Chain A
Amino acid sequence: MTDLTRKTADELARSLASKEVSSVEVTQALVDRIGAVDGQIHAFLHVDAEGALATAADVDARRANGEQLSYLAGVPIAVKDVLATKGLPTTCGSKMLDGWIPPYDATVTAKIKAAGLPILGKTNMDEFAMGSSTEHSAYGPTHNPWDTTRIPGGSGGGSAAAVAAFEAPLAIGTDTGGSIRQPGALTGTVGVKPTYGGVSRYGLVAMASSLDQAGPVTRTVLDAALLHELIAGHDPMDSTSIPDAVPAVVAAARRADVKGLRIGIVKELGGEGFQPGVEARFNEAVELLTSAGAEVVEVSIPSLKYALGAYYLVMPSEASSNLAKFDAMRYGVRVPPAGVDDPSAEQVMASSRDAGFGDEVKRRIILGTYALSSGYYDAYYGSAQKVRTVLSRDFTAAFAGVDLLVSPTSPTTAYPLGDKLDDPLAMYLGDVATIPANLIGIPGLSLPVGLADEDDLPVGLQFLAPQKADDRLYNAAAALERLLEDKWGGTLLSRAPELEVAR
């Protein structure tokens, strides 16, 4: 019998539709796989085998009854722990929310449940999605399935690692500055940040409201498109949700044709700071696109040099305000100050926030508090918001000449756990290629394009498209994926080392 855990979501959907396999069988196989390997990976913070199997059984019964089901009905999924799941713990990787069980579902969660996808559990993440390595989880780091001594990227390292380690065919990630795409690159998986407003943020515990966006984490471009189509669409509960129709991403992924497309290489996202093995794989991939009929040109976006600075002002500013609600009054851990008799609410708030938040969260809250404070607002937050306008204008100009832009997703491959733990600036630099898309709301996709020669670790290529043109990403990425797999004679993940299986 074939290993169900290795199948793509599309393959599973077809097998389920033809009743070749049942959802219970698929779900059980994945639950078993999680039990066997997650001790080494720690992709999950919470596994809900019982709930997932119940959903699977229900879907199987409904299918047996001849009910018309969603295409992905019965295909299990993992959900990043930053999305509210009614009845399932939602901690955001923070001690602050230890044990919190939301009384409501995020819109993305509701769509998944309505479509009948068994939810395997909640995946690990940097605390409140603040970090690029998943080492800033209060519950311990996630390990990269390619080398368990290394980071899986972050903040959505849990979702990426779960998919890469065949613990789930599909996962939901969220991306504020690259948290879907960068872990995708570092684990050899596909990750997509949709256009801002394309997927509802209702129930996504906010880090930075104007940057956050949920999206698919998968092993193939088509799977990503299928999941994208499922979770996207207008939501009246999210005021920033786009009222337009969802771009035809699945059709685009099936089209997979770059002939005649104009693709721009972003000059500023390469060179210094980019690992040679990353650049080599990136350049080869671009050559493949050229060979398939795309016209590739170099594009310069000079304002990119301000993007990282703008991001590390806007994001902490919004985060400092968004995280103010965690004050131990209505929910969350309440930790009274030590040695204070009869403390006041103010004192309990301050001590609880000290005890409940980790270092990276506190650092960003303090930084954001500073950037918004009177006397500094114009210089920091205000200037950063202007950078977004300039950057947006520059990208609009660039997209006037090309259909898509490309760059490496991350300047480096996965680094060893602990390497940049005490050097936040070094960690922040790893986001240089992914953050521009968040600042200006455009969609981005990371596709694995090979292994770096120096460390045999995955490299990702990022496609960027104009707002609401998410379908362009899927078309081009699916084309490149096919070209690469033809060249490799299989998927990249099939070359990942086998994990030791616990019994």
Chain B
Amino acid sequence: MTTETLVPFDEALTRYDPVMGLEIHIELNTATKMFCGCPTEFGAEPNTQVCPVCLALPGALPVVNAKAVESAIRMGLALNCEIAEWCRFARKNYFYPDMPKNFQTSQYDEPIAFDGWVDVEVDGETFRIEIERAHMEDDTGKALHVGGSTGRIHGADFSLVDYNRAGIPLIEIVTRTIEVPPEKAPAVARAYVSYVRDLIGGLGVSDVRMDQGSLRADVNLSLKPKGSTVLGTRSETKNVNSFRSVERAVRFEISRHAGILDAGGKVVQETRHFQEDTGTTLPGREKSDADDYRYFPEPDLAPVSPSREWVEELRATLPEPPAVRRARLQADWGFSDLDMRDTIGAGALDLIVATVEAGTTPQAAKKWWLGEMARRANESGHDIDALGITPEQVAEIQGLIDAGRINDKLARSVFDGVIAGEGTAEEVVVARKLEVVSDDGALGAAVDRAIEGDPDAAQKIRGGNLGVAGALIGAVMKEMRGQADAGRVRELILEKLS
């Protein structure tokens, strides 16, 4: 592999326009698989959730899971798609050891949902993403690559395959080319994936966990020289496991493609894998004419023709559309437009909803999620919902502040402890001895020492200049290592110097 020259993002955009499309695979949370009655529980012992159908034993036949079709239709409706009056499954034929039938049961030219759109917001601007289609298919098994030095597929001696995941229902959502100002492409891609996560999560049809693979995004990207109408060769980046990575993958691929094209090279049509640690992509399988999938209608499955009545019934079950919901929440919470934009941008809307539901004021919830948690997410490179702290835990900590047992500053230490798995907020406070001191005896002694140590300030306060009280409070807080009830300290100082 030759070393690639990367062209800085901004520079690349002076010469090229990105052509971008996104594919999102969503694993449904049905009780059983797409075509058989095996359970879908995550993390079960290997090959305990398999049967003749999902192992593709000779003679076995598939039967469609009604709930999966229902979920697909609800997803299609939420994505503002048309729902097919009649559609079929199709076989996508290719060989791969983790795919028992050696074809994927998918949909080809007759998807269940098509021609939809969603509006996503970036920096207060709204962008319309057109959805080409959303179709049903089944997932593959999982291979564990053994031997070699890396533990990765390359260099492995052999692989061990677990087919528990084989046959879990997937919905694949495919966008049309996303037409946005080139410099916005990475942020729009991220916002779109985040939006779809919220939208589908709201339907309750999937866990939509990027970190667990129940939501998987692929970035298809090519560049065309400015002013040209000729499309470039595209790469397909997989293994993008967070919203932040979506944005980084788009940026990186733009830089990489530009480097190749600047050098007069040709972009290879291939699958690439995003590398979380370096923010780069590495080549995977090269696409060639061997990828002739020989699609044809699945003869073993009956066509699906959802009645219009059924579709309307399902439409009635959809939750409030996101834009309406956001307007309602903004009004309820009294957030400014800017607050709301930051909330959406940080992917914190549902987290704040849940925190408020757990008893915190909207302002306090916003303070933690957009301040402390956004900072932590940014530093660690995790998505904000993958920090290891739940809205309920945030609410519990705020509750301790409201009760005067800790203050905002001590709360940060409580967050550290909770995230580190040291127990509940209460337990962390006790174990780390974080509770503020409001006992007058201990505080009084500290206040006396502070007054002794700064007679000037004491004299000014006695003279009615309360503005300098802060200096004495600071001294007390310092002595108490922050664990003093600042309000009570102030009261004691004023009492003693009046």
| A–B interface present (Cβ within 8 A) | yes
- Give the B-binding residues of A (Cβ under 8 A): 83-84, 90, 92, 97, 100, 102-104, 106, 201-206, 208-210, 236-240, 317-318, 320-321, 324-327, 329-331, 342, 345-346, 349, 369, 372-374, 377, 381
Q: B-side binding surface: helix, strand, loop or mixed?
A: loop
Chain A residues positioned under 8 Å from B100 (CB to CB):
325, 330
Contact string against A for B residues 42-61, beta-carbon threshold 8 Å, 1 for contact and 0 otherwise: 00000000001001111111
* A373 to B56 Cα, complex, angstroms: 23
B62 within 8 A of A: yes
Q: Which chain B residues (54-89) contact chain A, with CB distance < 8 Å?
A: 55-64
- Closest-CB distance, A435 to chain B (whole angstroms): 16
* A233 to B105 Cα, complex, angstroms: 26
- Are B59 and A330 in contact, with the CB atoms below 8 A? no
In the complex with contacts A324-B101, A327-B95, A381-B59 CB distance below 8 A: no
Besides A318-B296, A318-B299, A342-B157, 18 other A-B contacts (C-beta < 8 A): A102-B58, A103-B57, A104-B60, A206-B59, A206-B300, A210-B299, A236-B63, A238-B63, A321-B91, A321-B93, A321-B103, A324-B95, A327-B97, A330-B57, A331-B58, A373-B292, A377-B294, A381-B296
13 A-B residue pairs with CB within 8 Å: A84-B59, A201-B61, A202-B59, A239-B64, A321-B103, A324-B101, A326-B58, A330-B100, A330-B163, A345-B159, A369-B294, A372-B296, A373-B294
Among the listed A236, A237, A329, which residue makes an inter-chain contact with B97, where contact means beta carbons less than 8 Å apart?
A329
User: How many residues of chain B get a CB closer than 8 Å to chain A's CBs?
Assistant: 31
- Are A321 and B296 in contact, with the CB atoms below 8 A? yes
Q: Which chain B residues (291-336) contact chain A, with CB distance < 8 Å?
A: 292, 294-296, 299-302
Among residues of B, the one whose C-beta sits closest to the C-beta of A374 is: B292
Chain B residues positioned under 8 Å from A327 (CB to CB):
95, 97, 102
- Are B63 and A239 in contact, with the CB atoms below 8 A? yes
In the complex with contacts A321-B93, A324-B102, A104-B57 CB distance below 8 A: yes
- Closest-CB distance, B54 to chain A (whole angstroms): 11
Among the listed B60, B63, B64, which residue makes an inter-chain contact with A203, where contact means beta carbons less than 8 Å apart?
B60
Chain A residues positioned under 8 Å from B300 (CB to CB):
206, 209, 239-240
Among residues of B, the one whose C-beta sits closest to the C-beta of A236 is: B63
Chain A residues positioned under 8 Å from B161 (CB to CB):
329
- Give the A-binding residues of B (Cβ under 8 A): 52, 55-64, 91, 93, 95, 97, 100-103, 157, 159, 161, 163, 292, 294-296, 299-302
- Top 4 A-B residue pairs of the complex, sorted by shortest distance between their CB atoms: A324-B102, A372-B294, A209-B299, A210-B299
- Are B95 and A349 in contact, with the CB atoms below 8 A? yes
Between A and B, how many residue pairs show CB distances below 8 Å?
101
In the complex with contacts A239-B62, A239-B63, A369-B294, A325-B56 CB distance below 8 A: yes
- Closest-CB distance, A181 to chain B (whole angstroms): 21
* A373 to B300 Cα, complex, angstroms: 20
In the complex with contacts A321-B296, A325-B102, A346-B95, A106-B63 CB distance below 8 A: no
In the complex with contacts A321-B93, A324-B102, A329-B97, A92-B296 CB distance below 8 A: no
- Are A104 and B103 in contact, with the CB atoms below 8 A? no
Chain A residues positioned under 8 Å from B55 (CB to CB):
330
Interface centre among B59, B296, B299, B302 (most CB of A within 10 A): B59
Among residues of B, the one whose C-beta sits closest to the C-beta of A345 is: B97
Among the listed B61, B101, B295, B301, which residue makes an inter-chain contact with A325, where contact means beta carbons less than 8 Å apart?
B101
- Are B294 and A202 in contact, with the CB atoms below 8 A? no
Among residues of B, the one whose C-beta sits closest to the C-beta of A210 is: B299
Among residues of B, the one whose C-beta sits closest to the C-beta of A238 is: B61
Among residues of B, the one whose C-beta sits closest to the C-beta of A202 is: B61
Chain A residues positioned under 8 Å from B296 (CB to CB):
317-318, 321, 372, 377, 381
Among residues of B, the one whose C-beta sits closest to the C-beta of A109 is: B59
* A128 to B73 Cα, complex, angstroms: 38
* A3 to B102 Cα, complex, angstroms: 50
* A374 to B94 Cα, complex, angstroms: 13
- Are B299 and A102 in contact, with the CB atoms below 8 A? no
Among the listed A106, A210, A324, A377, which residue makes an inter-chain contact with B59, where contact means beta carbons less than 8 Å apart?
A106
Chain A residues positioned under 8 Å from B62 (CB to CB):
239
Chain B residues positioned under 8 Å from A104 (CB to CB):
52, 57, 60
Chain A residues positioned under 8 Å from B52 (CB to CB):
84, 102-104
Chain A residues positioned under 8 Å from B295 (CB to CB):
372
- Closest-CB distance, B212 to chain A (whole angstroms): 26
Chain B residues positioned under 8 Å from A342 (CB to CB):
157
- Are B58 and A97 in contact, with the CB atoms below 8 A? yes
- Are A239 and B301 in contact, with the CB atoms below 8 A? yes
Among residues of A, the one whose C-beta sits closest to the C-beta of B303 is: A239
Among residues of B, the one whose C-beta sits closest to the C-beta of A104 is: B52
- Are A84 and B58 in contact, with the CB atoms below 8 A? yes
- Are A203 and B59 in contact, with the CB atoms below 8 A? yes
- Are A92 and B58 in contact, with the CB atoms below 8 A? yes
Chain B residues positioned under 8 Å from A372 (CB to CB):
93, 294-296
Among residues of A, the one whose C-beta sits closest to the C-beta of B53 is: A237
- Are B301 and A205 in contact, with the CB atoms below 8 A? no
- Are A205 and B58 in contact, with the CB atoms below 8 A? yes
Chain B residues positioned under 8 Å from A90 (CB to CB):
58-59
Chain B residues positioned under 8 Å from A201 (CB to CB):
61
Among residues of A, the one whose C-beta sits closest to the C-beta of B92 is: A321
Chain B residues positioned under 8 Å from A346 (CB to CB):
95
Chain A residues positioned under 8 Å from B63 (CB to CB):
236-239
Interface centre among A104, A236, A342 (most CB of B within 10 A): A104
* A240 to B61 Cα, complex, angstroms: 10
Among residues of A, the one whose C-beta sits closest to the C-beta of B93 is: A321
Chain B residues positioned under 8 Å from A97 (CB to CB):
58
Among residues of A, the one whose C-beta sits closest to the C-beta of B94 is: A324
* A236 to B64 Cα, complex, angstroms: 11
- Closest-CB distance, B32 to chain A (whole angstroms): 14
Interface centre among B56, B97, B102, B294 (most CB of A within 10 A): B294
* A100 to B55 Cα, complex, angstroms: 15
* A102 to B60 Cα, complex, angstroms: 11
* A104 to B161 Cα, complex, angstroms: 22
- Closest-CB distance, B221 to chain A (whole angstroms): 24
- Are A102 and B59 in contact, with the CB atoms below 8 A? yes
Among residues of B, the one whose C-beta sits closest to the C-beta of A349 is: B95
* A77 to B248 Cα, complex, angstroms: 66
- Closest-CB distance, B149 to chain A (whole angstroms): 15
Among residues of A, the one whose C-beta sits closest to the C-beta of B50 is: A330
- Are A204 and B59 in contact, with the CB atoms below 8 A? yes
- Closest-CB distance, A362 to chain B (whole angstroms): 16
- Closest-CB distance, A326 to chain B (whole angstroms): 8
Among residues of B, the one whose C-beta sits closest to the C-beta of A203 is: B59
Chain B residues positioned under 8 Å from A325 (CB to CB):
56, 58, 100-102
- Closest-CB distance, B240 to chain A (whole angstroms): 26
* A337 to B272 Cα, complex, angstroms: 30
Chain B residues positioned under 8 Å from A92 (CB to CB):
58
* A238 to B299 Cα, complex, angstroms: 11
Chain A residues positioned under 8 Å from B58 (CB to CB):
84, 90, 92, 97, 100, 102, 205, 325-326, 331
Chain A residues positioned under 8 Å from B299 (CB to CB):
208-210, 240, 318
